[in-house]
Amino acid sequence: MEKAFKIILNVILFFLIATGLLVVFSFIDIPGNYKIFTVQSGSMEPAIHTGSLIFVKPLADYSVGDIVTKKTDDPKMTVTHRIVSKEEVDGQVAFETKGDANDSSDGEKFGKDMIIGKKFLTIPFLGYVVSYAKTQMGIILIIIIPAVIIIYDEFNKIVAEIKKIRQKKLDEKGKIRFE
């Protein structure tokens, strides 16, 4: 039972640490680095579900049919939709996007400079965890719970080692040990 408990704790710790590393790495501003976003609406259903974690990577060129994340007028908000048209306007390439679940396109044409990247991976529902991890309570839980688990496990190991050392000293003094 104790072994199964440790395995479960180690798996949980691994996923928490991996998620944390992915999120931290995505914030590092390296040209060509992937970015991670949480899907906040159902506009791309059924291709991408609300609450999914989406990984995007900038490319040299984008095509009709690509699912891309683009900037909006609000610097804190992005939109992930499918490219439905690509044409040249005044010597520049212009894109138009549409959510799969939407009846009409987004209604604006924009340049490649507005595209953050193309979707290359989607993990359903993990976006809820990442969004929660960005809150104050989420940070506390993601740091405190694993830390308490690690400290508890290490404390138990230290206590067991101290007991072994004490028993060894008692045995060396000539006391009889019954098991």
Q: Is 74 a catalytic residue?
A: no
Q: What is the pLDDT of residue 62?
A: 95
Residue 103 within a domain:
yes
Residue 160 within a domain:
no
Residue 143 within a domain:
no
How does pLDDT run across 91-121, given as a tens digit for each residue? 889 999 999 999 999 989 999 999 999 999 8
Q: What is the pLDDT of residue 13?
A: 76
98 Cβ contact partners less than 8 Å away, ≥ 6 residues apart: 81, 82, 84, 104, 105, 106
Please provide the average confidence, as pLDDT, over all residues in the chain: 85
How does pLDDT run across 134-150, given as a tens digit for each residue? 788 877 777 777 788 88
Q: Tell which residue, 45, 110, 38, has the closest CA to residue 78.
A: 38
Q: Is 49 a catalytic residue?
A: no
% residues pLDDT > 70 (the chain): 89
Per-residue pLDDT for 175 more than 90? no
Q: Is 41 a catalytic residue?
A: no
Which of the residues 43, 49, 61, 153 is marked catalytic? 43
Residue 9 within a domain:
yes
Number of structural domains found in the chain:
1
Residue 166 within a domain:
no
Which residues in 13-172 belong to E strands, given as ranges?
35-38, 53-57, 67-71, 78-89, 92-98, 115-123
Q: What is the pLDDT of residue 119?
A: 95
Residue 42 within a domain:
yes
Which of the residues 106, 113, 131, 153 is marked catalytic? 106
Which domain covers residue 116, as residue numbers? Answer: 2-134
Residue 100 within a domain:
yes
Which of the residues 81, 103, 105, 171 is marked catalytic? 81
Residue 32 within a domain:
yes
CATH code for position 45:
2.10.109.10
Q: How many residues does the chain have?
A: 179
